[in-house]
Amino acid sequence: MRRATLLALICLLVLATWPLASAAPPVPAADARHRLEAQARMWAMAEGPHATELWYRLRRLGLSAEDLLPLHGAAPGRSAQAALDEIMGVGELSAGDDAVVHGPSSSNVARAFRSLAAAGEMDGIELVILTSRDDDLRGDIYRLLRRRKFRATTGPDEGIDTRSLSCYPGCIFVPGEEVDAISVSGWVDVLRHEARHVEQLRHNPEMAWDFVQNGRRTIYAGFCEACADDGLYTTPLYYARERMARLREVVGTENESLVQRACRGDRAAYETLRALFDRLVDEGGGFDVLFQPAY
Ligand SMILES: [Zn+2]
């Protein structure tokens, strides 16, 4: 009896302490960040002086391991030097000082914008940081972005006519709350997505009306969003990977220039592509089924 009680007590003790013994101690955020930094530095140093020099240039420009490691993670076989070159390839972050940024200029989005501007990717485009104090059209855009939980818009891609603003057609709006929500390299992709909308607007001044009709996103909007996110994949909302792969599978590489023209917002090319797809497709639904907006 006594032995049985002792055994039961031991079992109880083991069961009570089991979760404590098996759970790993939580890693403080600062430690995790420090470890990432050290890992990235070692990774760069292992590849010699050139990579190390690039690494220290990145540090001086205020980039951290969090900006660097996703590149390594995306292609583990790539050398540190290639990944570092890719980051530096978007342009010197200290350059692009003449880029037009309306709002604080030290945020991640502003740094990403200036680096793209220095590389010539933001010609004629202005970055507008919005706050809750904005009124009129800017205030409307701010509230819409906050309500829809979107980080950025050019206006017409949300059905908003921006012709009255001085930045038209090259406006990219970002709410102040979001400027540091993602890393500099994350913002580079989002800004490239928005710059494609600016190009679509330049080819189609009716874009705001073509994107939203009777309060609903159109098929044209679903198509243009997939194009804007093609290869960037900033959000799963637009199914860019699946939709663009299906489109190219059906129309073939011989029609790639037509796809590119339609993606730049050209309405006539869009209608031609849509008719061509519907003529060629034999199963799985037509163009309008493929690009039905789901957001
Ligand atoms: Zn978009």
Statement: residue 95 has pLDDT above 90: no
pLDDT in tens, 65-84: 566 666 656 565 656 666 66
CA 268, 270, 275, 277 dihedral sign is positive
How high is the pLDDT of residue 10? 53
pLDDT value, residue 99: 74
CA of 118 to the centre of ligand 1 (A): 23
The answer, yes or no, to whether residue 93 has pLDDT greater than 50, is: no
Q: pTM surpassing 0.95?
A: no
What pLDDT score was predicted for residue 90? 39
Q: Can you give the C-alpha Rg of the chain in angstroms?
A: 25
The mean per-residue pLDDT over the stretch 214-240 comes to 95
**Alpha-carbon torsion angle 254, 256, 258, 264, nearest 10:** -170
Kindly give the distance from the C-alpha atom of residue 216 to the centroid of ligand 1, in angstroms, as a whole number.
Answer: 15
Share of the chain above pLDDT 90, in %: 54
Q: Output the CA 228–ligand 1 centroid distance in Å.
A: 6
CA of 199 to the centre of ligand 1 (A): 12
**What pLDDT shows up at residue 291?**
97
Tell how far the Cα of 145 is from the centroid of ligand 1, in angstroms. Answer: 12
Q: Closest by alpha carbon to 207, among 185, 233, 181, 225?
A: 225
CA of 69 to the centre of ligand 1 (A): 26
Q: How far is the CA of 153 from the centre of ligand 1 (A)?
A: 7
Distance 53 CA to ligand 1 centre (A): 36
3-state secondary structure 178-215: HCCCCCHHHHHHHHHHHHHHHHHHHHCCCHHHHHEECC
Checking if the pLDDT of 268 tops 90, the result is yes
pLDDT given at position 285: 86
**Residue 189 Cα to ligand 1 middle (Å):** 11
259 CA distance to ligand 1 centroid (A)? 17
Confidence of residue 142 (pLDDT cuts 50, 70, 90): very high
Q: What is the DSSP string of 159-180?
A: T---TTSTTTTSEEEEEGGGTT
43 C-alpha to ligand 1 centroid (Å): 35
Residue 268, C-beta contacts closer than 8 angstroms, at least 6 positions apart: none
Query: Has residue 271 got a pLDDT over 90?
Result: yes
Of 225, 193, 190, 201, the closest CA to residue 110 belongs to 190
pLDDT per residue over 99-141, tens digit each?
A: 788 877 778 999 999 999 988 999 999 999 999 999 899 999 9
Is the pLDDT confidence value at 64 over 80? no
Higher pLDDT, 10 or 154: 154
Q: Is the pLDDT reported for residue 15 higher than 50?
A: no
C-alpha–C-alpha distance, residues 179 and 111, integer Å: 10
